[in-house]
Amino acid sequence: MTPDKSPLLKAAPWWRLSTGRTLVVRGGRPLIGTYPISGAKNAVLPLMVSALLTPHLVTLRNVPATLDVAVLAALLQKLGCEMHWSATGAGLSVTLSADRVQPGRIDPELVTRMRASVLLLGALLARCGEARLPMPGGDAIGLRGIDFHVTGLRAMGATVELAGGVIEATAHGGLRGADILLPLPSVGATENLLLAAVSAKGTTRIRNAAREPEIADLAACLISMGARIDGVGSHVLTIEGGLPLAGAIHAVLPDRIELGTLACAAAITDGELSLPHARVELLGVAAPLLDAAGVELRDVDGGVVARRASSGLAGIDLVTGPYPGFATDLQSPAMALLATASGVSTVSETIFEQRFRHVDELRKMGADIAVHGRTARIRGVARLRGGNVTCTDVRAAAALVIAGLGATGKTTLDGLDHLDRGYDRMTEKLAACGADIVRF
Ligand code: EPU
């Protein structure tokens, strides 16, 4: 589906008017050069939503120029939030001003375009005492319920009804602190409840909270706004809510998934990439696992250098898990790499039920992959070959770009909205590192 870009352009004027619908990669050229790592896709979205909590100015730096950011900007603008964008050498910055918020002005079409729109629930309840939005959209990678979000908000005194695909929530007497145990360390539920808890009266404890670096980034921004949050980076977050929230200036965390993705791209092409702004430690256990697969990662001044180990690519066994486990968002890029590693690899997906949709596309390019339940068994082939493939979700799109860069011949990708949702100017950044890649 081609998104109607007009509300996006109004809210995010930097969003490109016309982006080609087809990407052509001619593989076999080593990637050599500097690929700047942008702000994290999954950190910037909750950070933008946090601006709804205060009437004061929130400035975010290092904002990635992605479709998701443009869609969220359009949603926030409808709600009454004003935005001022500026582009500097250091990337995009935005100053958000949510002086007046009109919770009724939700654009249902925009909400259904992405998962992170569910975060509006916690923020609007906190700021306005009410929220009404359709069920959020996002990648079709599993069931992706919102029961943890709803149960937590109810524990904080909100009334939440779900009927006919619409979520209706009120807390006219204000939210109150609560003791909440998450059944799983859900990233989105932790963020939603954190956003609500900083404005709730009293103490909220979120147990079994997610520990992803994006949560710590949100907490850091909220703390600089004046919130009191203990236990950041641990499984128990304790929030003293109800303190007045001022504005903040915050630089978005570097994108660890973009880092891992480009490291795989450097290794599959036998190139060497300098990845400014990133740090190896952000990858958690993915760093030693990628190393075992033959992806050398080295911290240098101001960034990371990634290249293929002289011993070549080797098969590994990996299991996705909550941070610091192997990120599910790196699973498909890693699988593209392992498709040409010597020996047999196994990849087990434990977070989402349907996150192997890239397998059929990789097979079209000659990959030897068999799927049994939630585990894929990959027998490495010497080389993938170009093909016509379709991106089925954000990370599948990145996997297919990696496969195309490492393949012989021409790969044609469609379904590029997925790529645009999560990656900041990937085509341009790859071309600057020597890739033969064009979009039209
Ligand atoms: N879950 C429930 N009920 C809930 C919430 C979650 O059953 O109320 C389940 C999910 O179905 C899933 C598991 O819990 O099986 C974990 O889901 P989580 O809530 O942690 O994921 P999310 O918040 O929906 C975010 C990222 C995803 C990333 C996951 C895991 C954003 C906008 N999305 O999703 O990113 O894969 O955390 O790290 O932050 C991507 O960037 O490609 C992407 C899908």
Q: Which atom of ligand 1 is nearest to the CA of 191?
A: 23
Q: What's the gap in Å between 175 CA and the centre of ligand 1?
A: 24
Residues 141 and 25 in one domain: no
SS3 of residue 113 by DSSP: coil
Q: What's the gap in Å between 381 CA and the centre of ligand 1?
A: 32
Give yes or no for a contact between 346 and 339, defined as CB atoms under 8 angstroms apart. Answer: no
Residues 278 and 388 in one domain: yes
How sure is the predictor about 40, in pLDDT bands with cuts at 50, 70 and 90? very high
Q: What's the gap in Å between 366 CA and the centre of ligand 1?
A: 30
Q: Is the CB of 139 under 6 A from ligand 1?
A: yes
- Token pair in block for residue 258: 């973009």
Structural domains counted in the chain? 2
Residues 156 and 276 in one domain: no
Residue 399 has pLDDT above 80, yes or no: yes
Residues 240 and 264 in one domain: no
Q: Which atom of ligand 1 is nearest to the CA of 114?
A: 32
Residue 3 has pLDDT above 60, yes or no: no
Residue nearest to atom 22 of ligand 1 (CA): 188
Order the strands of the 436-439 sheet from edge to edge.
388-390, 410-414, 23-26, 436-439
Alpha-carbon Rg for the chain, nearest whole angstrom, is 21
Choose one of 120, 146, 187 to mutate for the ligand 1 pocket test, by most ligand atoms within 8 angstroms of C-beta: 187
Last residue of a domain, one of 251, 283, 304: 251
How sure is the predictor about 112, in pLDDT bands with cuts at 50, 70 and 90? confident
Task: Tell me the angle at which helices 331-338 and 394-406 cross, rounded to the nearest 10 degrees.
Answer: 20
pLDDT computed for residue 287 by the predictor: 98
Q: What is the pTM of this model?
A: 0.96
pLDDT computed for residue 115 by the predictor: 83
Residues 143 and 217 in one domain: yes
Q: What's the gap in Å between 146 CA and the centre of ligand 1?
A: 10
Residues 139 and 167 in one domain: yes
Residues 63 and 117 in one domain: yes
Residue nearest to atom 32 of ligand 1 (CA): 116
- Token pair in block for residue 151: 């149960």
Last residue of a domain, one of 251, 269, 290: 251
Residues 332 and 425 in one domain: yes
> Span 184-208, mean pLDDT?
97
Beta bridge partners of 154: none
- CA–CA gap between residue 412 and residue 404 (Å, rounded): 8
pLDDT computed for residue 19 by the predictor: 73
Indicate which CATH number applies to the domain containing 29: 3.65.10.10
Beta bridge partners of 372: 375
Instruction: List pLDDT tens digits, range 58-79.
Output: 999 999 999 999 999 999 999 9
Q: Is the CB of 351 under 6 A from ligand 1?
A: yes
Answer with the residue of higher pLDDT: 142 or 350. 350
User: Of 344, 341, 270, 274, whose CA–CA distance to 305 is shortest?
Assistant: 274
Residues 354 and 283 in one domain: yes
> Which residue range(s) make up the domain with 383?
3-38+255-439
Torsion of CA 17, 70, 118, 171, to 10 degrees: -120
Residues 193 and 113 in one domain: yes
Last residue of a domain, one of 251, 284, 301: 251
Choose one of 38, 41, 42 to mutate for the ligand 1 pocket test, by most ligand atoms within 8 angstroms of C-beta: 42
Residues 120 and 237 in one domain: yes
7 prior amide bond cis, ω within 30 = no
Residues 281 and 401 in one domain: yes
Residue nearest to atom 39 of ligand 1 (CA): 42
Would you list the DSSP string of 191-245?
A: HHHHHHHTTSBEEEEEET----HHHHHHHHHHHHTT-EEE-TTSSEEEEEE----
Average pLDDT of the chain? Answer: 94
How sure is the predictor about 139, in pLDDT bands with cuts at 50, 70 and 90? low
